[in-house]
């Protein structure tokens, strides 16, 4: 799938294909063959969206698969995650010096279950260690917050293959959430905001399935229409599609966020499956790309 597209070509494609309105708010970068979007967010926070390009996985997982819960070779997935950690280290030290330059961050991947639970990253680490003896050992959670003091040294890594990565950034802390259709209709955006100490002032929606490709059953379309209004459903004679980006924007508007406070590159994972894993485009056996967030040391 990714054979033939290298990191720099993928980075160029990311820039060309993203919504031009998002270009001033998202840097496209490439490090050691791994392209990524680096959101311009305030404060000590960093928000990166990886693609599927630049990893060692092969077969249906071809590329930078970061999902240790997939049937991919776990040693290869670990090497892919190490590549990401290298980027995170360099991106974290970008423009800073001293302690920050030497900091390494610990990736924290929660067990995403399309639920509504959002908790602090350090709290998640403590809870999963208590329950299973190792990080990510099976404690369900679909969002994590990062506070520069409370969650020092931790970098939540959430995994996606069509669902919406949504990052809420406030003055005090940040939340990263997994927005599948169940989560969005269930209130995961509000749950993310409630889990934060501060008020979100900026939201970044990462690459995810667009209204072009998210065909759903009538019951799902009707539920979205009732919850968010008929504008989030696109119907033709044979099918209904849901605009999850518009539904997420509605949720953010309910949190008093203006459209100017929402960044969305409008990169559909299914349309652009040369760059991204997509459950819809690839089928159920595929990899997961990552959204990783952290706070730099002050």
Q: How far apart are CA 222 and CA 292, in angstroms?
A: 33
Q: Strand 215-216's sheet: what is its strand order?
A: 215-216, 240-242, 233-235
Q: How far is the CB of 57 from Zn ion (least distance, A)?
A: 23
Alpha carbon separation from 9 to 18, 28, 61, 130 (Å, rounded): 14, 11, 20, 44
208 binds Zn ion per the rule CB under 5 A: no
* Residue from 7, 143, 206, 210 in contact with Zn ion (CB under 5 A): 210
Of 10 and 146, which has the nearer Cβ to Zn ion?
10
User: Which of 17/79 has CB closer to Zn ion?
Assistant: 17
For position 212 contacting Zn ion by CB under 5 A, the verdict is yes
Examine residue 234 and tell whether it contacts Zn ion (CB under 5 A): no
Q: Residue 58, interface with Zn ion (CB under 5 A)?
A: no
Residue among 129 and 212 whose Cβ is closer to Zn ion: 212
Which one of 129-137, 145-153, 248-256, 271-279 is the stretch in contact with Zn ion (CB under 5 A)? 271-279
| 268 is an interface residue for Zn ion by CB under 5 A | yes
Q: By C-beta, is 273 or 288 nearer to Zn ion?
A: 273
Q: For residue 235, how far is the Cα from the chain centroid?
A: 28
Q: Which range of residues in 36-44, 145-153, 190-198, 260-268 is near Zn ion by CB under 5 A?
A: 260-268
- Residues 196, 168 contacting (CB under 8 angstroms): yes
Cβ-based nearer residue to Zn ion, 251 or 272: 272
270 contacts Zn ion (rule: CB under 5 A): yes
- As a dihedral over the C-alpha atoms of residue 288, residue 144, residue 167, residue 250, rounded to 10 degrees, the angle is 100
SS3 call for 230:
helix
Q: Examine residue 213 and tell whether it contacts Zn ion (CB under 5 A).
A: yes
Contact flag: residue 126 with Zn ion (CB under 5 A): no
Q: Which residue has the tokens 């003055």?
A: 171
From residue 77 to residue 116, what is the string marking binding to Zn ion with x (rule CB under 5 A)? ----------------------------------------
Only one of the segments 46-54, 176-184, 226-234, 264-272 lies at the binding site for Zn ion (rule: CB under 5 A); that segment is 264-272
Number of residues that bind Zn ion (CB under 5 A): 6
DSSP per position, 240-273: EEE-HHHHHHHHHHHTT--GGGEE----BTTTTT
Is residue 198 within 8 Å of residue 172, measured between CB atoms? Answer: yes
- From residue 277, how far is each of 53, 190, 225, 296 by CA, in Å? 10, 27, 28, 29
Residues in touch with Zn ion (CB under 5 A)? 210, 212-213, 268, 270-271
């Amino acid at each position: 799938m990714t054979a033939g597209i290298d990191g720099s070509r993928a980075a160029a494609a990311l820039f060309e294909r993203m919504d031009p309105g998002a270009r001033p708010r998202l840097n496209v970068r490439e490090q050691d063959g791994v392209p990524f979007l680096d959101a311009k967010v305030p404060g000590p926070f960093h928000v990166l969206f990886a693609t599927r390009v630049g990893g060692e996985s092969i077969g249906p997982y071809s590329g930078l698969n970061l999902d240790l819960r997939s049937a991919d070779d776990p040693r290869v997935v670990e090497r892919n995650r190490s590549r990401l950690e290298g980027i995170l280290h360099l991106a974290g030290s970008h423009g800073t010096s001293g302690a920050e330059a030497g900091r390494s961050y610990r990736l924290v991947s929660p067990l995403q279950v399309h639920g509504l639970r959002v908790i602090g990253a350090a709290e998640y680490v403590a809870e999963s260690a208590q329950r299973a003896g190792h990080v990510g050992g099976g404690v369900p959670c679909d969002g994590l917050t990062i506070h520069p003091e409370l969650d020092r040294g931790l970098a939540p890594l959430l995994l996606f293959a069509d669902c919406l990565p949504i990052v809420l950034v406030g003055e005090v802390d940040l939340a990263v959430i997994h927005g599948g259709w169940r989560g969005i209709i269930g209130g995961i955006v509000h749950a993310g905001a409630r889990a934060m100490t501060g008020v979100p002032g900026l939201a970044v929606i990462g690459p995810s399935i667009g209204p072009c490709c998210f065909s759903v059953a009538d019951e799902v379309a009707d539920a979205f229409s009732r919850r968010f209004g008929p504008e989030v459903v696109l119907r033709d004679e044979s099918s209904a599609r849901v605009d999850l980006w518009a539904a997420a924007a509605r949720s953010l508007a309910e949190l008093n966020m203006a459209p100017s406070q929402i960044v969305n590159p409008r990169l559909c994972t299914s349309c652009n499956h040369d760059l991204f894993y997509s459950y819809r485009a690839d089928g159920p056996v595929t990899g997961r790309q990552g959204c990783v967030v952290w706070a730099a040391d002050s």
